Amino acid sequence: MLTRRIIPCLDVKDGRVVKGVKFLNLRDAGDPVDVAEIYDREGADEITFLDITASHENRNIIIDVVYRTAERVFMPLTVGGGIRTLDDIRNLLKAGADKVSVNTAAVKDPEFVKRASERFGSQCIVVAIDAKKIQKTGDRRQKAEKKENLNSELRTPNSELLRWEVFTHGGRNPTGLDAVEWSQRMEEYGAGEILLTSMDRDGTKEGYDIELTKNISETVGIPVIASGGAGNLQHLYEGFMEGKADAVLAASIFHYREYTIKEAKEFLRGKGVNVRL
């Protein structure tokens, strides 16, 4: 049976891991390749590099990081951040990435996802969605009521239907797009996977936005990775069992050695989640 995946994510800026990763016995905790190698050894199911390099000149540094990672790490590698063109994708895949995740470029030009998946295959195109919760009220009520019967469990006690809006630029720019509809559209356009981050939960350690995750995971037929808010192992469990996520992404709980990948998997297996140990 297919197992549920645990994916540590590293923020990389100018080729260095952002925020100290607290590993003992690590030659260089700032080197993404060294850190990736540790996670590989610990049995992570994939690894994701999120490139947050600001300046355009330094964009090629991530290519070099990927290039070096492919020499030492033999598990799937996803790279996201700043991907704008088909050439960006080709260069990353050539260097040794297996998947790329696109966010802003997809919002700006949805056809980009279509072109990318036709050119490189759906399996390597991940669409990252940063979503923030908003409430539907007033003139939206009519539409909301129509949906009521379909998704009654999503209604809050005061009868307002939950809705999530897609944001870009790390949650700064609203797009007006409905996250659930957007995920469906991206699936139609050939996305192979959705990386779903709750901007409300990101960095809070309060757990994934379960309603958001469940809503999207049950809407699309492609795998969904839950992201944003993981603070303990119970949160991973909830992401899988209640959020119906196919994979969970986490950063700080692994980077700061609060838990190892193995501990996380043992915990999940103990609770009946099918993981690879």
What is the DSSP code (8-state) at residue 156?
-
CB of 53 to other proteins, least distance (A): 22
CB of 95 to other proteins, least distance (A): 7
CB of 97 to other proteins, least distance (A): 7
**Location of structure tokens 């690894």:** 47
Q: Of the two residues 28 and 218, which places its CB atom closer to other proteins in the complex?
A: 218
Look at residues 92, 93, 105, 10 and name the one whose alpha carbon lies nearest to residue 52. 10
Q: One of 40, 45, 88, 130 is an active-site residue; which one?
A: 130
Structure tokens at 76: 């799937």
Structure tokens at 179: 């996250």
Structure tokens at 112: 């980009």
Give the CA distances from residue 31 to residues 19, 27, 80, 216, 252, in Å, rounded to whole numbers and listed in that order. 11, 9, 17, 34, 16
What residue type is assigned to position 110 of the chain?
P
What is the DSSP code (8-state) at residue 155?
B
Report the interface residues with other proteins, using CB under 8 A. Answer: 1-5, 40, 43, 45, 67, 70-71, 74-76, 93-98, 118-124, 150, 192-193, 218, 221-224, 244, 246-247, 276
Q: One of 11, 14, 98, 178 is an active-site residue; which one?
A: 11
Whether residue 130 lies in the annotated active site: yes
Bridge partners, residue 129, by sequence: 196
Cα distance between residue 145 and residue 153, in whole Å:
13
Q: Of the two residues 10 and 79, which places its CB atom closer to other proteins in the complex?
A: 79
Q: Of the two residues 107 and 125, which places its CB atom closer to other proteins in the complex?
A: 125
> Dihedral sign, CA of 119, 120, 121, 125?
negative
Whether residue 87 lies in the annotated active site: no
Q: Of the two residues 31 and 187, which places its CB atom closer to other proteins in the complex?
A: 187
Q: Of the two residues 167 and 237, which places its CB atom closer to other proteins in the complex?
A: 237
CB of 219 to other proteins, least distance (A): 9
CB of 19 to other proteins, least distance (A): 27
Residues annotated as part of the active site: 11, 130
